[in-house]
């Protein structure tokens, strides 16, 4: 029951905000199914209904987007994450999620200054020159101010919003519990892996809240591009960087959305598109650690056709195995090897049951659209759209890390085409794919995988006698247990128990009525108001039983509504 899950008193106020917001936007049925209405009643809160007529005219994706926007930073970030799940949501949902802008009114400078004073131990004016109290950017988690150091270096100071952590932590706790409830109460949504999505989202939010972690990510990426001066990552000033504030070199460039300014300054669009694509592909396919939010506000163009990436609060990570799966998928599409594609999709499906025969037919049809085309002529954008439709049709979901890759690839292709109409995303990726395939089949890598398999097998064989002994010892001592999760039967058991109780009370009530009627016809014995006392007591007991039975039925029907 939700009330027991949400028994922590510190979260009740936030729970009321969340429930009332979703009810206000017309999602009362979902709130009722999750038990949040009862939690609100116990919390003693009152729902306020406003803008009912306006909300009624909104489509469901619009209502969800407005609700997330009203709920603040955590839910805005969640919506932005859901915008990457093109495998789970249709275009109309993705379009609405993408409208969630991570912008917010700036915090008054006095509050920001007080927090900086706590972190530095001295007034910011004593460390930074020309500290601009007006923020140049303000998001849901932090805002940015310009200043200079004593040596004249221009810097950007990013400050986390004061007192935001308790709100975010409460939201994350509630989301984790809500994900568990969704999986139990809405089995059809279990394939979306809500608990895994929330777990990944929680990790992402913790990293974004730690502004020092953002700088560590930036320096990790900068190290990979040390030999490529055309890619710029702002320098971090660690002397004044911590969890609630970071200081980086200010990037004075042309935002990637201002193409007219790019033309005016004489930068080469084709070179910029090529360098940007190569940088992102290197991060994804070669390094496995990439900027996961390369939208126009985070990419700047500099003189000599250099490109600067800023704001590494959201980064993606790909294991070696995941990178191999991406390469296998693209290679299978080109070579018309449907079995390879099915194997990759099956790995991504995890424990979800799939119809391999039907999936094979659809995959054959899918890759037939691209058969015979060289890799350089494939259109990655169209491929991704078709792939996500195929996944949705088979109720498959991408792992969260791959969802970020697809979103980054789509953003990169869109930006590349804005710079250069002849931009070929897959052609840019071809060298990385060939290099990855050659590297995987190099003698050194084959030997490494073989040795790893041999070492694992030997380790299993070496531990087998000990494992068997422990198993047999547990069986002999009666400690061997087989656990079967039947949590879904708990509710059914409660229903049976309630029905049996009502049936018993009904039988007893009927017996009291019949017995009392007989007693009323018997002469003699104590009387009350001229009537047999025991007969009256029997009728009174029957009345109490009947009232209890009616109340129990009414309460049960109300709970089921």
Position 370 pLDDT exceeds 90: no
* Strand (E) or helix (H) holding 37: helix 36-43
Are 26 and 54 in contact, with CB atoms under 8 Å apart? no
* 488: Cβ contacts below 8 Å, ≥ 6 apart: 184
Residue with more model confidence, 87 or 203: 203
When mean pLDDT is compared across 156-160, 285-289, 292-296, the lowest value belongs to 292-296
When mean pLDDT is compared across 122-126, 245-249, 286-290, 450-454, the lowest value belongs to 450-454
With pLDDT > 70 as the criterion, what percentage of the chain qualifies? 79
Mean pLDDT of 111-118: 92
Position 451 pLDDT exceeds 90: no
- Residues in a beta bridge with 249: 155
User: b/e map of 324-334 (b: 16 or more CB within 10 Å)?
Assistant: bbbbbbbbbbb
Position 165 pLDDT exceeds 80: yes
* 255: Cβ contacts below 8 Å, ≥ 6 apart: 296, 297, 299, 300
The structure's pTM equals 0.70
* pLDDT of amino acid 254: 94
- The DSSP code sequence of 313-357 is SSEEE--HHHHHHHHHHHHHHHHT-HHHHHHHHHHHHTT----HH
Residue with more model confidence, 16 or 422: 422
Compute the distance between CA of residue 455 and CA of residue 61 in angstroms, rounded to an integer.
51
User: Across 224-238, 372-386, 434-448, 460-474, which has the greatest mean pLDDT?
Assistant: 224-238
Residue with more model confidence, 208 or 54: 208
With pLDDT > 90 as the criterion, what percentage of the chain qualifies? 23
Q: What is the mean pLDDT of the chain?
A: 79
Are 292 and 315 in contact, with CB atoms under 8 Å apart? yes
* pLDDT of amino acid 470: 78
Task: Kindly report, residue by residue over 406-436, the tens digit of the pLDDT.
Answer: 788 888 888 888 898 888 887 788 788 778 7
Compute the distance between CA of residue 283 and CA of residue 297 in angstroms, rounded to an integer.
19
* pLDDT of amino acid 239: 93
Q: Angle at the Cα of 469 (from 467 to 475), degrees rounded to 5? A: 105
- Where does the pLDDT of residue 303 fall: very low under 50, low under 70, confident under 90, or very high at 90 and above? very high
Position 294 pLDDT exceeds 60: yes
Task: Kindly report, residue by residue over 380-402, the tens digit of the pLDDT.
Answer: 666 766 777 777 777 776 777 77
Residue with more model confidence, 366 or 141: 141
Position 43 pLDDT exceeds 50: no
- Where does the pLDDT of residue 47 fall: very low under 50, low under 70, confident under 90, or very high at 90 and above? very low
Residue with more model confidence, 98 or 373: 98
> Shortest CA distance to 285 belongs to which of 452, 421, 426?
426
* 151: Cβ contacts below 8 Å, ≥ 6 apart: none
When mean pLDDT is compared across 101-110, 404-413, 435-444, 486-495, the lowest value belongs to 486-495
Are 398 and 87 in contact, with CB atoms under 8 Å apart? yes
Neighbouring C-beta atoms of residue 144, cutoff 10 Å: 20
* pLDDT of amino acid 377: 62
Task: Kindly report, residue by residue over 464-513, the tens digit of the pLDDT.
Answer: 788 788 778 777 777 767 666 555 555 556 666 667 777 777 777 787 77
- Where does the pLDDT of residue 378 fall: very low under 50, low under 70, confident under 90, or very high at 90 and above? low
């Amino acid at each position: 029951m939700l009330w027991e899950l949400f028994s922590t008193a510190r979260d009740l106020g936030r729970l009321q905000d969340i429930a009332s917001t979703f009810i206000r936007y017309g999602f009362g049925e979902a709130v009722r199914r999750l038990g949040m209405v009862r939690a609100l009643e116990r919390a003693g809160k009152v729902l306020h209904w406003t803008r009912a007529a306006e909300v009624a005219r909104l489509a469901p994706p619009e209502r969800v987007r407005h609700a997330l926007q009203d709920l603040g930073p955590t839910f805005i970030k969640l919506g932005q994450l859901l915008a990457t799940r093109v495998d789970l949501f249709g275009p109309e949902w993705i379009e609405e999620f993408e409208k969630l802008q991570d912008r917010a009114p700036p915090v008054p400078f006095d509050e920001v200054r007080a927090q900086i004073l706590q972190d530095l131990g001295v007034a910011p004016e004593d460390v930074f020159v020309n500290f601009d109290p007006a923020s140049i950017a303000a998001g849901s988690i932090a805002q940015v101010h310009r200043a200079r150091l004593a040596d004249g270096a221009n810097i950007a100071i990013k400050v986390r919003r004061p007192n935001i952590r308790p709100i975010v932590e409460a939201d994350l706790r509630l989301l984790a519990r809500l994900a568990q409830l969704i999986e139990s109460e809405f089995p059809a949504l279990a394939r979306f892996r809500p608990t895994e999505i929330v777990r990944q989202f929680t990790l992402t939010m913790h990293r974004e809240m730690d502004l020092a972690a953002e700088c560590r990510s930036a320096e990790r990426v900068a190290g990979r591009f040390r030999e490529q001066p055309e890619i710029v990552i702002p320098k971090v000033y660690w002397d004044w960087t911590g969890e609630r504030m970071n200081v980086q070199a200010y990037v004075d460039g042309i935002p990637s959305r201002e193409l007219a300014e790019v033309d005016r300054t004489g930068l080469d669009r084709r070179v910029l598109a090529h360098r940007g694509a190569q940088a992102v592909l290197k991060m994804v396919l070669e390094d496995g650690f990439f900027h996961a939010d390369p939208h126009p506000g985070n990419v700047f163009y500099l003189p000599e056709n250099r490109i600067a990436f800023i704001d590494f609060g959201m980064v993606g990570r790909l294991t070696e195995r995941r990178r191999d799966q991406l390469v296998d998928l693209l290679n299978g599409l080109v070579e018309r090897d449907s079995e390879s594609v099915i194997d990759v999709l099956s790995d991504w499906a995890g424990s979800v049951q799939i119809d391999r025969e039907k999936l094979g037919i659809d995959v054959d049809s899918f890759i037939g659209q691209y058969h015979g085309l060289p890799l350089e002529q494939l259109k990655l954008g169209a491929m991704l759209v078709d792939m996500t439709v195929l996944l949705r049709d088979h109720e498959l979901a991408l792992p969260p890390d791959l969802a970020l890759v697809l979103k980054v690839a789509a953003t990169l292709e869109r930006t590349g085409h804005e710079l250069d109409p002849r931009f070929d995303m897959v052609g840019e990726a071809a060298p990385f794919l060939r290099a990855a395939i050659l590297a995987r089949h190099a003698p050194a890598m084959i030997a490494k995988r073989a040795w790893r398999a041999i070492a694992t097998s030997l380790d299993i064989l070496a531990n087998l006698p000990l494992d068997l002994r422990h198993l047999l010892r547990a069986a002999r001592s009666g400690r061997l247990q087989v656990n079967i999760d039947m949590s879904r039967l708990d509710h059914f058991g409660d229903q049976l128990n309630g029905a049996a109780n009502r049936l018993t009370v009904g039988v007893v009530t009927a017996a009291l009525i019949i017995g009392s009627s007989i007693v009323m016809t018997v002469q003699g014995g104590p009387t009350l108001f001229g009537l047999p006392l025991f007969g009256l007591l029997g009728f009174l007991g029957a009345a109490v039983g009947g009232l209890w039975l009616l109340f129990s039925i009414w309460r049960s029907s109300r709970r089921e509504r």
